[in-house]
Amino acid sequence: MCCEATMIQALRERGMRLTPQREMVLHVLHEIPNDATAEEIHARVSRLSPAVDLSTVYRTLDLFTELNLVSSFKQADGDQRFELLTIHAPHFHLLCQQCGELSSVSISELQPLASQLFQTHRFELKMEHLIIPGICAKCSSRTA
């Protein structure tokens, strides 16, 4: 799989090592539909190898985030969540500040804003890291 090759290269470039733990975390991230907490990822890794520590999972996820393999963000409930950047079509997220629901939106909807910000501010919007806060349909109808 291309992710693994990417990871191996990125690790080599930095003099870092390919360990079974890192392979397992990467593998497990492919099985997860959307995003997951470190606990969830750890639980899945544990099925493959029970000795792997939660702290290792955290360290690995942080590493992957730096390597740009994973995006990491916090939901409204405060849980930090992680997902593979490559697995899905390019998208950004809407985060409901009330219920914490996270939904994905194709980056095509962002294109106009991206051009706008580049034209007026020379700012290159990183669309896949964008999390837009607001109130989702369910919550706003509940309140209204």
Partner DNA sequence: CTATATGCAAATGCTTTGCATATCC
Partner DNA sequence: GGATATGCAAAGCATTTGCATATAG
- Residues at the site binding DNA, with contacts judged by CB under 7 A: 11, 14-22, 37-39, 49, 51-56, 58-60, 62, 74, 78-80
Return the structure tokens found at 74: 């916090």
Min dist. Cβ of residue 4 to DNA (A): 12
User: Cβ contacts of residue 143 below 8 Å, gap of 6+?
Assistant: 135
CA distance 39 to 28: 12
22 vs 81 by CB, closer to a second copy: 81
Report the distance separating Cα 144 and Cα 135, nearest Å.
Answer: 12
Shortest CB 61 distance to DNA, Å:
8
Considering the complex, what minimum distance in angstroms separates the CB of residue 8 from DNA? 8
> What is the binding site for a second copy (CB under 8 A)?
71, 73-78, 80, 94-97, 103, 105, 109-110, 112-113, 116-117, 120-126, 129-137, 140-141
Please name the residues in contact with 138: beta carbons below 8 A apart, sequence gap of 6 or more.
Answer: 96, 99, 101
Residue 16 or 135: the one with the smaller Cβ distance to DNA is 16
d(CA 2, CA 44): 21
Q: Shortest Cβ distance from residue 58 to DNA (Å)?
A: 4
